Amino acid sequence: MPPRISVITVSYNSESTIADTIRSMASQSYPHVEYIVVDGRSSDRTPDILKEHNASISSWISEPDSGIYDAMNKGLKMATGDYVGFLNSDDFLASENAIQEIAETLANTGADATHGNCLIVDENDPSKTLRYYSSKHFRPWHLRFGNMPPHATVYARRELLMLEKGFRTDLKIAADFDLLVRIFLKRRVSLTYVPGIISINRNGGVSTRGINSTISINREIYSSLKSNEINSHPTLLWSRYLFKVWQLANRPRAN
């Protein structure tokens, strides 16, 4: 039986971008999809946009939360699919076959989780590519260096995410990294790769807001590795930025 895929979007004051996210989900060719939106009771037009696109959303709520990872945990509890992935409210899927490709890969391999590639684009001009984020050569041990596959391309068995009780809400930036450490390194799940570009992510997320944000995320990453008894060192975490330079140099020139 084809796997049922749950996709979760969390939002807060996302009126300028969330319609693109919803439309990219509505255009998917794969029929066995559950789409969930968890809004943090936005004060802009986001709830109105959700109402306008109600037919394209399986279920949604708009209520106060304690931050992005608390909202993601709410969505995870609402999900009923075999596999779960997250698509931020300023991101969108790269093609109408993105979920189809993920589902077919998971069905053919029987893997516990999958990952793929994404483009980082200008937040004001999505046609302008800033970076090509490839996870083709990702291996779980890369997490020791702070390297992880693009979160929007990771789809994992719901039961695994539930066993790990979702995301740590005491972390403000790196809870997605921490969850992957617990699944990929500690549980040693089977992992597979989906070729091609899965998601397109607008630049400007909380983890890309200057040197102070970089310092904060490295602290949280190191704290996560230490708490999970994974050997690493702060110097190793900084070395991953050489890889980001390579990604910038190898971004697609045609958009």
Q: What's the confidence (pLDDT) of residue 173?
A: 92
- Is 71 inside a domain boundary? yes
Torsion of CA 216, 67, 146, 221, to 10 degrees: 60
pLDDT above 60: residue 251: no
- Is 97 inside a domain boundary? yes
Neighbours of 155 (CB within 10 A): 30
- Is 77 inside a domain boundary? yes
Residue 237, helix vs strand vs coil: helix
pLDDT above 70: residue 252: no
pLDDT above 50: residue 88: yes
Give the chain's domain count.
1
What's the CATH code of the domain at 195? 3.90.550.10
- Is 103 inside a domain boundary? yes
Nearest CA-CA partner of 117 in 132, 106, 128: 132
- Is 254 inside a domain boundary? no
- Is 36 inside a domain boundary? yes
pLDDT band at 249; cut points 50, 70, 90: low
- Is 255 inside a domain boundary? no
For 51, the domain range is: 5-249
Q: What's the confidence (pLDDT) of residue 211?
A: 62
Nearest CA-CA partner of 149 in 103, 205, 101, 197: 197
- State pTM to two decimals: 0.90
- Is 141 inside a domain boundary? yes
The Cα-based distances of 63 to 60, 70, 209, 249 in angstroms read: 10, 12, 27, 42
Residue 34 forms beta bridges with which residues?
Answer: 6
Nearest CA-CA partner of 68 in 165, 181, 171, 149: 171
Q: Is the dihedral of CA 116, 122, 124, 128 positive or negative?
A: negative
